[in-house]
Amino acid sequence: MLPGSIQISGETLSSAEIRDICESLRENSVRLLSLRGCQLSDRDFGRICRGVAESHSLAQLNLNLGIVSNINRVKLLAEALKTNRSIQSLFLHGSPLTDAGLAILNPALSTHPSLVALDLGDCMLGDEGINLICGLLPPDGAKSGLKELTLSANPGVTAKGWGRLAIAVAHSSQVRVLNLDYNPLGDQVAGMLAVAVASSRTLEVLDLEGTGLTNHSAQILLDMVENYPTALRTLILGENSISPELQQQISDLLSEGEEEEENETREVTVREKNPWICQSNSSSQMVFMASGLGESLLAETEM
């Protein structure tokens, strides 16, 4: 039987329900476990963590909205992550971790062999926490690291901390999605992030919604998108003091880049499948592709 999912939101969990969840974890019949906003005792949280440690099928663990509510729970989760080898995505959004809690989790996070997505939004982090997170974004040629990182709504981080993160992102060989929405970044930090995006060969999505940006930083981002080839495909700038015209210009340029990349991919595919096509006659290639060959291409979908 293929592993399934257990998704419970905002409920008070009984001991019997906890027992059933733990049995499913031990039987490797759960791929996704979400207990978002649920209420459970410290004892039952410990039971869940032991089940997580024993599971070989669990790929996504969602403990958003206050499940990891004290330092003892942080320690229990850290111990579980040291043993578990299967989790790919960990969501702790809205947990009062603070830098001290992240310091406890960090050894398990940094050595986990499968973790590629981490949500630490609204976790009361500061600059020290960001320093630890930078270690999860190893530079080119180093070990594998995070591909998706969410740090929304952590207003305790200063420009110095965001600057360090920008440097780590610029040199990371892995990160593709970075969510920094609802942090008071301002134009100074946005400028640093623009340099990071221009340097990154992997970053595809950057969320800067509600981060205190103005037309000044938007113009810098526009210049970056217009003049430097990047992997960036989505830049979210809503709820900032940026004119609709600038936002549209940036969006149009990103769309053009994506269309050009798709056309190049299709052209290469046509050449590989039909080596007899004359390489010098680009117009005939484009007409041939428009006949429907491109429809057979499958887009990669990741869980």
Q: For residue 275, what pLDDT band results from cuts at 50, 70 and 90? A: very low
Q: For residue 292, what pLDDT band results from cuts at 50, 70 and 90? A: very low
Q: For residue 295, what pLDDT band results from cuts at 50, 70 and 90? A: very low
CA–CA gap between residue 213 and residue 33 (Å, rounded):
36
Tell me what pLDDT residue 6 has.
97
Q: For residue 288, what pLDDT band results from cuts at 50, 70 and 90? A: very low
Q: How far is CA 49 from CA 68, 82, 120, 141, 258, in A?
A: 11, 11, 19, 33, 42
CA–CA gap between residue 193 and residue 230 (Å, rounded):
13
Tell me what pLDDT residue 303 has.
37
Looking at the chain, how many residues does it have? 303
User: Which of 33, 44, 47, 35 lies closest to 3 in space, CA to CA?
Assistant: 33
Q: SS3 for 191?
A: helix
Tell me what pLDDT residue 230 has.
92
CA–CA gap between residue 123 and residue 303 (Å, rounded):
24
Tell me what pLDDT residue 184 has.
98
- Complete DSSP assignment for 31-62: EEEE-TT-B--HHHHHHHHHHHHH-SS--EEE
pLDDT exceeds 90 at position 297: no
Range 16-40 average pLDDT = 97
Residue 102 contacts by C-beta under 8 Å, 6 or more apart in sequence? 120, 123, 125, 129, 132, 133
CA–CA gap between residue 265 and residue 32 (Å, rounded):
34
Residue 186 contacts by C-beta under 8 Å, 6 or more apart in sequence? 159, 211, 212, 213, 217
Tell me what pLDDT residue 299 has.
35
Range 62-84 average pLDDT = 97
User: Which of 250, 280, 197 lies closest to 189 in space, CA to CA?
Assistant: 197
Sign (positive or negative) of CA dihedral 28, 118, 66, 210: negative
| Pairing, β 30-34 against β 234-236 | unpaired
Tell me what pLDDT residue 142 has.
63
Alpha carbon of residue 259 to chain centroid: 23
CA–CA gap between residue 112 and residue 122 (Å, rounded):
23
Q: Amino acid identity of 143?
A: K
Q: How far is CA 221 from CA 97, 161, 238, in A?
A: 32, 20, 14
% of the chain surpassing 70 pLDDT: 83
Count CA atoms closer than 13 A to 173's CA, side-chain side. Answer: 7
Range 72-96 average pLDDT = 98
pLDDT digits (tens, 9 = 90+) for 20-30: 999 999 999 99
Lookup result for tokens 């080839």? 229
pLDDT digits (tens, 9 = 90+) for 91-129: 999 999 999 999 999 999 999 999 999 999 999 999 999
Range 146-174 average pLDDT = 96
When mean pLDDT is compared across 87-91, 215-219, 263-267, the lowest value belongs to: 263-267
Q: For residue 144, what pLDDT band results from cuts at 50, 70 and 90? A: confident
pLDDT digits (tens, 9 = 90+) for 250-262: 999 999 866 555 5
Tell me what pLDDT residue 139 has.
84
Supply the mean pLDDT for the chain.
87
pLDDT exceeds 90 at position 161: yes
| Pairing, β 117-119 against β 89-91 | parallel
Higher pLDDT among residues 171 and 285, named by residue: 171
Tell me what pLDDT residue 100 has.
98
Number of neighbouring beta carbons within 10 Å of residue 13: 18
Q: Are 162 and 151 in contact (CB under 8 A)?
A: no
Q: For residue 173, what pLDDT band results from cuts at 50, 70 and 90? A: confident
DSSP H stretches of helix in the chain = 15-26, 42-54, 71-83, 98-111, 127-134, 159-171, 186-199, 215-227, 244-273, 282-290
The pTM of the full predicted model, rounded to 2 decimals, is 0.84
